[in-house]
Amino acid sequence: MKTTNTNAALKEWNVAVDALAKGNTIMLLRKGGIREEGGSFTIADRQVLLYPTFEHQNPTLLKPEYATQVQVVASGWHPDKIKISSFAEITHILQVSDESVLNQLFVYHIWNQKFVSDRLKWKPRQPLYILLLRTYKLPQVYEIFYRSEYSGCRSWISLNKAINLTGLTPVLNDEDYDKLSGKICQIICG
């Protein structure tokens, strides 16, 4: 990794960011936010800070062990300060259009079967993107003030101030990450 600081961030549910930071998953599923450029999902940056969101978290879309971790909030709610504690490299960008392949990936992510099936069927001509993230803990938690330009249903934002990436600690060691990402790639790519 060559980047020493960044302001590029990927917005994701707090429960998913927490699962990545604990090494419980390396996978995110994406079709993109409503306000994505061009109306479809694209990768803005492969090295990103993980920006936790709360507004659309829904416990009924998660496996039971993750559903209990969700803090349900009113539409439009956000904390005054956002805690940024993780950074990730998106190592693989894979596409899935086959529900049977998604079913084989069930043990590798945090969402329940209904949510995954519904995401695949939403905008059926567009594939579901599987992002594999090598997650790192920052040496300290950064608290940044919420800004209105961070709002909205989109995946990528630029923070108003860069965060230093010196002293990152990988959540999973090289061997464990390579083994896990290899299993997922084998399922998707055959």
Residue with tokens 């062990």: 65
Q: Which two tokens stand for residue 168?
A: 């990152």
How far apart CA 160 and CA 65 sit, in angstroms, is: 34
Beta-sheet strands, E only, within 27-155:
27-30, 47-53, 81-96, 128-145
Q: What residue type is 131 in one-letter code? A: L
Q: What is the DSSP code (8-state) at residue 35?
A: T
pLDDT at residue 177 tops 70 = yes
pLDDT digits (tens, 9 = 90+) for 80-122: 999 999 999 999 999 999 999 999 999 999 999 999 999 888 8
How far apart CA 153 and CA 139 sit, in angstroms, is: 29
Global confidence as pTM: 0.92
pLDDT of amino acid 39: 60
Q: What angle do CA 82, 88, 91 make, to 5 degrees?
A: 150
pLDDT at residue 170 tops 80 = yes
Rg (alpha carbons) of the chain, rounded to whole number: 16
pLDDT digits (tens, 9 = 90+) for 114-140: 999 998 888 888 889 999 999 999 999
Q: Which of 16, 5, 3 is nearest to 155 (CA)?
A: 16
Q: What confidence tier does 77 reach under pLDDT thresholds 50, 70, 90?
A: confident
